[in-house]
Structure 1
Amino acid sequence: MDGARVRRARPGDGAALALVKALGRGSDASFGFSRWDGHAVTEERAIDVDQSNESVIVSGPDGGAVVKWVVRVSRDGDPAPERVARLVKHGFDAMPRPWGMAQWCAEPGRPPALLAMVTALVPEARDGWEWAVEDARAYASGAATLDDSATTPGATLGRIVATMHLGLADEDTPLADSERAAAWKADALETLDDALTLMDGDELARLTRHADALRAELSALGDAAGTPLVPVHGDLHVGQVLRGADGSYRVTDFDGNPVASPAERLAPQPAAVDVAGMAQSLDHVAYVVLHRTPGVDAEAVERWRTTVVDAFLSAYRETLADAGRAELLDERLMTPFRTRQVCREYVYAGRHLPHWRYVPDRAVRARFEDPADPVVTKDGPA
């Protein structure tokens, strides 16, 4: 309260501290609190970065945590609580250690809505759009070996994502039916149509030139009936992987794709959705480096790209195979889901971040044209 007025709580008001304290109080008819870990905290401060939700750091003598408040609460349910609970149960430790969560039951019979998630603070954490770009630049400049900058990080990511899927998957996995496969195909083709509508200039010309080939790749999703379904992360890319001061990697944000429908976010999906998303994002790291680093050795960046992606995929497959669950990855779906992700990047650029259009444009160029040819953009050579 501000006098007679009600305002939204700000970092420093104590709301995040109060939530952490409330995690151990149990549940009532309206609110549910879950607690897995944690300790006393006495201070809170804002995180000053762009984010779809609102995060506040709370800290105390024994360390800190991040309270992530959900800005747009879904009355249809949220995938994060069930995903995180499964991973906690299976001892998955390659994520910020969960302390607990708060949920709200708006109406009897409806799924509870996630209000906030609390996870341990990863000291000096940077996401993959920082550390992976730095790794690629380090190799291209001769400051790091290919093993240190690509093979080891890629293999580590592969093992982490496979272990995550092993923890999320049911022992007896459900299989997609033809109706689900047809919906994936329709959604992917609609995304391509949206991309064509939103682009212009050279990007539109290139996208139009290869639209039939892209449609052919996306249409393969219509033949995906029978593929195993897993409660996947749903929005997995390098930006969802934190690397801390200790060099360890942790997957974060299990809320699913923010632009997907609630039904899609909650439904189990093919493991290939996550694997393709991560692999494609590693490609995109290379395109960011090429675009933003004047004079960079393009051949070295290409070596980094192919090496890190190959290491990621090899380690992922090997980890599943060692666990006797190789069937979780349907290899038929890798190309169409990677292509769908490229189309989604066009749409994201067209609706929210116009400058980003060079990334999917480079992806299409690398897929269907000579990736060695320079692409001239408004900012100069890409």
Structure 2
Amino acid sequence: MICLLNRSSIWERLATVPRAGDGRTVDLLMALTSEIPPPYVVRRFHPLPETPPGAAERGFDVDQTNHSVVVGESVVVKWLTPPAPLPQPTPEAFAHLTAVGFTATAAPYAAISRDGELLALVTAYLPDARDGWEWCVDEAAAGRTAFAADLGLLAADLHAALATPSPAFPDPVRLSPASPGPWPGRARTALREALELTDGEDGRWLAARADRVERDFHALEDPGATPLIRIHGDLHVGQILRWRDGYAVIDFDGNPTVSDTDRHQPAARDLAQLTTSLEHAGQVAVRRRDADPAAVGRWAAEAVGSLEDAYRRRLRERGHADLLHDGLLRAFAVEQECRELIYAARHLPRWRYAPMGVLRSWYA
């Protein structure tokens, strides 16, 4: 449902992004109960909890790109910095998941835009939430794998929901074209860029194994009639919160390191990225918690196996077993590690140890 409002005071004060404590985020939430003045547009998903005047605001430092404010310990307003040109995938994903009844996420309340740009997203605040770069690293350091089956069920439920028709996604499942399309070229481009950007001993090690890495992409040449859905696009443990009542998947913005990519992709791409992120959590445990590398290797193998088994079982139970093409998992996982190296080189050099640790375990 799209609405238009009239509480000019707060709308006139949105020329700059509100900061926690300045009161503008609370004023915005209160204004959402009134008529919206042009050029602002509010798209609503679930009823917004009542916000009392003077509700407490605090920062929420979980996103290095945007600025989030928690209001009254019940609502989070994520201010996009800078505003993102529409269309954006998140509002459509919110509308679809709401329509099909998917609840394993922070409940979406509203998306606020102005002049063709998305300004803010309003969602529920999840008490005691920690993202996977905290809780999953704890599990790796302790050698616990019971969580992995829960993540597999969550991922399968998400993909089953994304494959269910709704007014937002009336035709959510497509078949891949007879030709391999852009996937082999995209994977090989990622390998080439990773080789160009990875220097030193790591770069020499990778170059010596480039032929072996490239052979793992051959499965992408003949994917068969693989179902394509609107995948999450950036599904890793950092996007899965463990909170007071369980697990929740968040952030439907897509992969920030990949541009010009059709959001309709094989479910295997999401699953491959999720399982590689377990391997990365293990590398973090070795690096920062002095965990034993051999023990972490065994932990990662068991956790990945448990996650994938639970994922397949849930898809079968929900009548969507055909969504997963097992033959693509390895290729997408290797491509993801190449993309992690590219990300490290361009944005976060200290991260390189994680994908290199995984690749060394795969191509010893």
Determine if contact 2:65/2:81 at 8 Å carries over to the other structure. yes
Counterpart mapping for 1:264-343 below 5 A: 264=261, 267-294=263-290, 296-343=291-338
Letter in 1 for 2:349: P
Deviation at 1:118, TM superposition (A): 1.0
Show the counterpart of 1:195: 194
CA RMSD after TM alignment: 2.1
- For 1:349, the equivalent position in structure 2 comes to 344
Name structure 2 gaps, 5 residues minimum.
1-8, 10-14, 166-170
Alignment of 1:1-382 (within 5 A): 7-25=16-34, 30-35=39-44, 36-41=46-51, 42-59=55-72, 63-106=73-116, 113-139=117-143, 149-150=144-145, 152-170=146-164, 173-178=173-178, 181-224=180-223, 226-246=225-245, 248-261=246-259, 263-264=260-261, 267-294=263-290, 296-369=291-364
Distance 2:152 2:31 in 1: 37
Contact 1:228 1:327 survives alignment (8 Å): yes
Q: CA deviation at 1:341?
A: 0.6
**For the Cα contact (< 8 Å) 2:17–2:81, is it kept in 1?**
no
Instruction: Tell me the equivalent position of 2:12.
Output: none
- Distance in 2 separating the partners of 1:185 and 1:347: 17
Length-normalised TM-score, structure 1: 0.83
Count the aligned residue pairs: 341
Residues 1:312 and 1:25: Cα distance change in structure 2 (over 3 Å): farther
Q: Where does structure 1 lack aligned partners over 5 or more consecutive residues?
A: 107-112, 140-148, 370-382
In 2 relative to 1, CA 49–86 (structure 1 residues): closer, same or farther, beyond 3 Å? Answer: closer
Identity %: 40
Matching residue's letter, 1:223: D
Q: Is the 8 A contact 1:287 1:362 kept in 2?
A: yes
Structure 1 residue 40 displacement after superposition: 2.3
Give the partner amino acid of 1:358: Y
Aligned residues of 1:23 and 1:100 also touching (Cα < 8 A) = no
- What is the Cα deviation at residue 7 of structure 1? 4.9
Query: What is the CA-CA distance between 1:277 and the residue it aligns to?
Result: 0.6
Distance in 1, matches of 2:214 and 2:71, equals 48
Give the Cα–Cα distance (whole angstroms) in 1 for the partners of residues 338 and 149 of structure 2. 27
Q: Is the 8 A contact 1:170 1:230 kept in 2?
A: no
1:297 Cα deviation from its structure 2 partner: 3.2
Question: How far did 1:191 drift?
Answer: 1.2
Instruction: Give the TM-score normalised by structure 2.
Output: 0.87
Q: Which residue does 1:142 correspond to in 2? A: none
> Within 2, Cα distance between the matches of 1:7 and 1:55?
14
Per-residue Cα deviation, 1:198-250 (whole angstroms, up to 9, x for no partner): 1111110111011111112224323235211111110000000111134x111
SS class of match (1:68): strand
Q: How far 1:28 sits from its partner (Å)?
A: 6.8
2:4 equivalent in structure 1: none
Distance of 1:25 and 1:340 partners within structure 2 = 48
Per the TM alignment, residue 74 of structure 1 is displaced from its structure 2 partner at its CA by 3.3
Residues 50 and 174 of structure 1: CA distance in aligned 2, closer, same or farther (over 3 Å): closer
Shift of 1:26: 6.4
2-structure distance, mates of 1:214, 1:19: 51
Mean alpha-carbon deviation: is it higher for 45-54 or for 283-292? Answer: 45-54
